[in-house]
Structure formats: C-alpha cells, structure tokens
C-alpha cells in the first residue's frame, strides 16, 4: 500500500458508522492518524453514546493504526473547536477534515415544523461550517490543509420530503466552493462529495412501489465504495483539485457541473411585467429545467 496519507492527521465527523467509519478506517490504513468524531445518536440526531466512535477506533488500532474517539457535537461552535483542539492535543497538528456528520428529519414541506428544519440545518450545514472554521486558522498557519464535505443529490438535484436536508446539502456545496476561494492563497483546498451509499439514513426512507427498486439498488452501493475517493482528495497528490463537486456511485466517480448562465435575453428599453410574460419567459423556456428528482437524473443502474 502506498500510504498516501502517511503522517497526516485527519478528523472525520460522523465517523462512527457508515460512510464516515469507512473513510476513517481507510485513512488510517493509508497512514493517517485519525480522530473519529461521532455523537452515536439516532438517525434524527437524538440520544448518543461514544460507543460507535470507540468501535471504529478499536478497529483501526487492531489493524495497526492510530486513532482517538471524540464525542463533541459539531452543530455547536464550542463543540467543533473542542474537536479540533482534541486532534491537536492527541497528534500535534491537523491536516484534513472530512465533514460527514448528518441527520435526517424528512417530512413533506407543508407539514415540516421549525424544529425539524433547525435541527437538520444545524448539523448538516452549520456543523460543516463550525468544524471547517475551527480548523482554518491551523491550516492557514501551516500553509496547507484539505477539506472534504459531504453534499447530496437531494440538494444538487432535489428529492421529495427533504426540503431541510436538500437545502442544507446544497448549502454545503456553496460553503465548500467559497472556502476554496478564500483559502486558496494559503494552499488549502476544499471539495464536496455527493455520496451514493446504503446507510442508516437512507434506510429510513420508506419503501413504496415507486422507489422499491431504487432502494434495492441502493443496498448494492456500500459505504466502503465512497472511502477511496474521499481519502484521495485528502492526499498531497490532489493538491491541484479544489472547489469541485463530485459524486461517487458504487464504481462510478462523477464530476458535477456548477451553476452558470445557460441563456440570456435583453431589451434595450428594459422590461415590463407584460413583456417578460410575452417575450422573456417564452424565449427562456426551452432551456428551463424540469422538476427532476435525484432518481430521475441517475436513472441507470450502478455498475
């Protein structure tokens, strides 16, 4: 094994289960010292125990690696800063962040409560900001570092019943891109991944006649399929890759487009509501996007 992360220190949030656990274990196999952060709570973010994080640490140590467990809540500023402080206390520095922690509280929009919105935004979006912000001064000082943030096609494309989750995950893509811009001069890079994998969160989606086959296909997309790409992005060999949004779908690696103008219309004398309706919208309509869901866009079977 090439040990692409030899002597690196990597923090993985939500590292006690699923995608995060597989990334943590592979990072350790590739030579990193790993801080496994996980509250050990339910899919909705309730309850918690350090047990899952400790289990991943034990697996890493049994394989000859170095790791410590951390149970701080990244949804809070102080929790994220305590996490980074623990990493530096344990291993002396910080080189990579995998912002993977997430929860679901799915509900169709007209029934969604404020608490369901706030909780998902706090973990999935603000949590990414908190951890990245806590690590940023250390990255700046050492003139190096890498962020990998987990986005989702629920935000990049869209899904039913996931207004809170989709908004957070699209926000993660924007957060990642703007971190990349702000931190470029310090040789710090930031990328986002939309992972396709069967996890506890995906397992909460109820099976219906419409999505039964899709869920069966999702079970084939195991979390360990995500880990190699995430680990690669943390390595020095990917130092020229920043500000990108990727997807990993079983054995496929996807580069997503980013919003850019596709068509414009203009009038020398400006617009009125009537001229917008008569000319602008008809001219733009052919280039408008359908109300696609993730499954509509990714309609082929994973290989």
Burial 37-54 (b: 16+ CB within 10 A, else e): bbbbbebbbeeeebebbb
Assess if residue 268 is contained within a domain. Answer: no
Q: Which of 35-44, 176-185, 212-221, 294-303 reaches the highest mean pLDDT?
A: 176-185
Number of domains into which the chain is organized: 1
pLDDT band for 214, please (50, 70, 90 cuts). Answer: low
Give the Cα separation of 236 and 13 in Å (integer): 21
Give the CATH number, domain containing residue 129: 3.40.50.720
Helix 127-142 × helix 77-91 angle, to 10°? 40
pLDDT at 197: 80
State residue 192 phi and psi, 5-degree precision. -120, 145
Gap between the terminal Cα atoms of the chain: 25
Assess if residue 280 is contained within a domain. Answer: no
Q: What pTM was estimated for this model as a whole?
A: 0.92
Q: Does the pLDDT value for residue 206 go beyond 90?
A: no
Assess if residue 282 is contained within a domain. Answer: no
Residues 245-266 pLDDT 10s: 999 998 999 999 999 999 999 9
- In the chain, the DSSP E strands lie at 9-13, 33-37, 66-70, 96-99, 145-150, 188-196, 245-249, 252-255
Assess if residue 278 is contained within a domain. Answer: no
Q: The tokens of 273 are what?
A: 């509501």
pLDDT band for 215, please (50, 70, 90 cuts). Answer: low
pLDDT band for 199, please (50, 70, 90 cuts). Answer: low
Q: Which of 58-67, 204-213, 287-296 reaches the highest mean pLDDT?
A: 58-67
Average pLDDT over residues 181-201: 89
Domain around 92: 9-258
Strand partners, 13: 37
Asked if 38 and 14 count as a contact pair (C-beta separation under 8 A), the reply is: yes
pLDDT at 41: 75
Distances (CA, A) of 167 to 64, 156, 175, 199, 289: 40, 9, 12, 20, 18
Assess if residue 246 is contained within a domain. Answer: yes
Q: Which residues are designated catalytic?
A: 165
- Mean pLDDT across the chain, nearest whole number? 93
Q: Does the pLDDT value for residue 200 go beyond 60?
A: no
State residue 138 phi and psi, 5-degree precision. -70, -40
Assess if residue 4 is contained within a domain. Answer: no
Asked if 140 and 280 count as a contact pair (C-beta separation under 8 A), the reply is: no
Maximum distance among all alpha carbons in the chain? 72
Assess if residue 269 is contained within a domain. Answer: no
Rg (CA), the chain: 20
pLDDT band for 37, please (50, 70, 90 cuts). Answer: very high
């Amino acid at each position: 094994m090439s040990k692409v992360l030899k002597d690196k220190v990597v923090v993985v949030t939500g590292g006690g289960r699923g995608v995060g656990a597989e990334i943590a274990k592979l990072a350790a196999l590739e030579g990193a010292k790993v801080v496994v952060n996980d509250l050990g709570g339910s899919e909705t973010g309730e309850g918690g125990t350090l047990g899952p994080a400790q289990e991943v640490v034990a697996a890493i140590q049994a394989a000859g690696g170095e790791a410590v467990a951390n149970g701080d809540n990244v949804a809070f500023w102080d929790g994220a800063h305590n996490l980074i402080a623990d990493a530096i206390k344990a291993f002396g520095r910080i080189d990579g962040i995998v912002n993977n922690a997430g929860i679901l509280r799915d509900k169709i929009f007209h029934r969604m409560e404020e608490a369901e919105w706030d909780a998902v935004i706090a973990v999935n979006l603000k949590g990414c900001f908190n951890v990245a912000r806590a690590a940023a001064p250390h990255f700046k000082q050492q003139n190096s570092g890498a962020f990998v943030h987990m986005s989702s096609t629920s935000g990049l494309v869209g899904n039913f019943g996931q207004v809170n989750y989709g908004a957070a995950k699209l926000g993660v893509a924007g957060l990642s891109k703007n971190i990349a811009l702000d931190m470029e001069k310090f040789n710090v890079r930031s990328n986002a991944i939309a992972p396709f994998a069967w996890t506890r969160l995906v397992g909460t989606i109820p099976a219906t006649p419409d999505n039964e086959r899709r869920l069966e296909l999702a079970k084939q997309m195991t979390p360990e399929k995500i880990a190699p790409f995430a680990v690669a992005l943390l390595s020095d060999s990917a130092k020229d890759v920043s500000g990108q949004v990727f997807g990993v779908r079983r054995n496929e690696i996807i580069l997503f487009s980013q919003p850019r103008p596709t068509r414009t219309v203009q009038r020398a004398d400006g617009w009125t509501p009537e001229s917008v309706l008569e000319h602008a919208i008809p001219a733009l309509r052919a280039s408008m996007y359908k109300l696609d869901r993730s499954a509509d866009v990714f309609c082929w079977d994973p290989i």
